Amino acid sequence: MKDMQSQGFPLALHPDRLLPVEPSVRDIARRLYESVQDLPIISPHGHVDPAILLDDVPFRDPAQLFVTPDHYVTRLLHASGVPLDALGVGQGPLSEKAARETWRLLCSHWHVFRATPVRYWLESELADIFGLTVRPSADSADAIYDHLAGRLTQDAYRPRALFTRFNISVLATTDDPCDDLSAHAGLTGDPTWSGRVIPTFRPDRYLEASERGWCGAIARLGEVTGVDTGTYPGWVSAMEQRRGYFIDRGAKSADHAHTDAGTAPLETSEVTRIYRAARAGSATEPEAVALRRHMLLEMARMSTEDGLTMTLHIGVRRGHHGPSNVRFGPDTGHDIPLRGDFTDPLRPLLERFGTHPNLNLVLFTLDESVFSRELAPLAGFYSSVYIGAPWWFLDAPDAVRRWRSAVTDTAGFSRTSGFIDDTRAFCSIPARHDMSRRLDSGHLAQLVAEHRIDEDEAQETAVDLVTGRPAEVFKL
């Protein structure tokens, strides 16, 4: 690393980063943060592939660890004129030459990430995990690449060693209902593994009858379950069976991501008709939407019976740029938020199940306007409803602060979910959770300084937000 000192500015993480500026409030925030800084990480919703922990193969190279699979990183580089193919997106393993060039593109565009959470996470990862002391730049790119590549050859940087180092107590993955969960089974049966990795039931593609591939997915569901999914009752039975399969293997939640939160019921005859039309490929778009909304209501009914926490990640136009979607596939940086609407769309679900003792319903949004207008009032009345932590485009320091201020007046702290990292980037998990702990410590410190709560209450709340909330909400 000495070779790099002359190639750029130093990279040093300030111990008080993200804490309040006013000295007396910062002192309180420091004490609160110290009480939660080293608590184990509970990650009840994310997208890390469990196979990396089962196989424990060293990460391939810095580009494919930090850049290529992370749409947070690639989307802003793309907006800055860097083609996605130049970043290795959708290309599988890269050659050493291609990986190094991808890394150079990140470092030479480091300035575009100023003040973004992406830079905060990357700096935390590079400094805290990999011991980097020089800021990325065009001049330092190759030396940093060599430093990181060298670390990745060491046993201490293999996935399992990092899982232990990150102090992760629970890691939830996201899994297709037809997945056999063999990676989870392999971890459970491995006597050398002691971590807890649990699956999450993600049935979106089986609810979206207008999407290409739905008929094939439904047929596959029938094959896996041995149930005739040619009829709607068969679909219901197959879904119930697969939920039970997931629960038997440790699942605690079912995650749903759709363009809207509609849950309007259909008459039995109408469900039968539309489902039959969808299987024949003749259902209209409005009919397919109506079917999905009815199916989502059915998913809530199942949660009241089997106990899976139901999470709704609502309001995203997936694959907004058609050409990129065709060429590079989903989750490559061009999903764009939509306006949020929960109060009326969720009313059918909540009238039926909103006070059911076995339902935990966690609502996530990308529309800040609904924080105080809809989510907080819903969670402030319905015993089943919890407000999900800021997600995706909102998991940034200022947005998190706005969220906490907007929902606390009506819903308090107990009606929130605890932090959700929602990440595919394994090494960003500790950075994301640490950011949340710092921000909550700052918010609570301000309340103490204003004499709205006492410091002992603030400390109790800080710990609860890290451990109690996610454990209760996700029934861990």
Is residue 393 packed enough to be buried (19+ CB in 10 Å), middle (13-18) or exposed (0-12)? middle
Residue 243 banded pLDDT, cuts 50, 70, 90: very high
Distances (CA, A) of 72 to 44, 119, 395: 20, 10, 11
Longest dimension (CA), the chain: 74
Same domain, 148 and 180: no
At 445, give phi and psi (nearest 5°). Answer: -60, -40
138 and 230 assigned to the same domain: no
Do 77 and 192 lie in one domain? The reply is no
Q: Which residues contact 385 (CB under 8 A, 6 or more apart)?
A: 350, 354, 361, 362, 363, 378, 379, 415
- Identify whether residues 303 and 379 lie together within a single domain: yes
Q: Is residue 365 part of a domain?
A: yes
| Beta pairing, strands 316-317 & 336-337 | antiparallel
Q: Which of 8-12, 271-275, 289-293 comes out lowest in average pLDDT?
A: 8-12
What percent of the chain has pLDDT above 70? 99
DSSP string, 242-290: HHHHHHHTT--EEEEEES--------HHHHHHHHHHHHHT---HHHHHH
Q: Domain of 432?
A: 160-473
Per-residue pLDDT, averaged over 48-63, amounts to 97
Considering the domain boundaries, does residue 103 fall inside one?
Answer: yes
Position 4 confidence tier, pLDDT thresholds 50, 70, 90:
low
Give how far Cα 140 sits from Cα of 60, 68, 81, 108, 121, Å. Answer: 20, 20, 21, 9, 19
Average pLDDT over every residue of 402-426: 97
Please indicate, yes or no, whether residues 321 and 173 belong to a single structural domain of this protein.
Answer: yes
pLDDT tens, residue by residue, 102-137? 999 999 999 999 999 999 999 999 999 999 999 999
Whether residues 90 and 103 share a domain: the answer is yes
Would 343 be classed as within a structural domain?
A: yes
- Of 121, 141, 157, the last residue of a domain is 157
Are 70 and 219 in the same domain? no
Judgement on whether residues 292 and 241 belong to the same structural domain of the protein: yes
How many CB atoms sit inside 10 A of residue 164's CB? Answer: 12
Task: Tell me the per-residue pLDDT of 314-326, one tens digit each, with 9 for 90 and over.
Answer: 999 999 999 998 9
How much is the average pLDDT of 362-373? Answer: 97
> Over the chain, what is the mean pLDDT?
96
- Quick one: pLDDT band at residue 25, thresholds 50, 70, 90? very high
CA distance 193 to 173: 17
* 236 occurs within a structural domain: yes
DSSP string, 80-127: TT--GGGGTTTS-SPPHHHHHHHHHHHHHTGGGGTTSHHHHHHHHIII
Task: Supply the pLDDT for residue 7.
Answer: 62
Q: What is the pTM of this model?
A: 0.96
Inside any domain, residue 23: no
Nearest CA-CA partner of 216 in 154, 278, 269: 278
- Tokens describing residue 144: 């940093």
Q: Do 117 and 256 have their domain in common?
A: no
| Size (the chain), residues | 476
**Is the domain of 367 the same as that of 237?**
yes
In this structure, is residue 34 part of a structural domain?
no
User: At residue 159, does pLDDT exceed 60?
Assistant: yes
Phi-psi region of 266 (alpha: psi -120 to 50; beta: other; left: phi over 0): beta
170: left (phi > 0), else alpha (psi -120 to 50), else beta?
beta
pLDDT value for 331: 87
User: Among 136, 157, 178, where does a domain finish?
Assistant: 157
- 3-class SS of residue 174: coil
The rounded percent of the chain whose pLDDT value lies above 90 is 95
| 209 occurs within a structural domain | yes
Res 2 pLDDT > 80: no
CATH number, domain with residue 102: 1.10.2020.10
| C-alpha distance from residue 111 to each of 77, 115, 139, 175, 420 (Å) | 10, 9, 13, 36, 27
- How far is residue 371's CA from residue 401's CA, in Å, rounded to a whole number? 12
DSSP-derived secondary structure letter, 388:
P
Instruction: Please indicate, yes or no, whether residues 151 and 180 belong to a single structural domain of this protein.
Output: no
The Cβ-side half-sphere exposure at 25, using a 13 Å CA radius, reads 19
Whether 255 maps to a domain, the answer reads yes
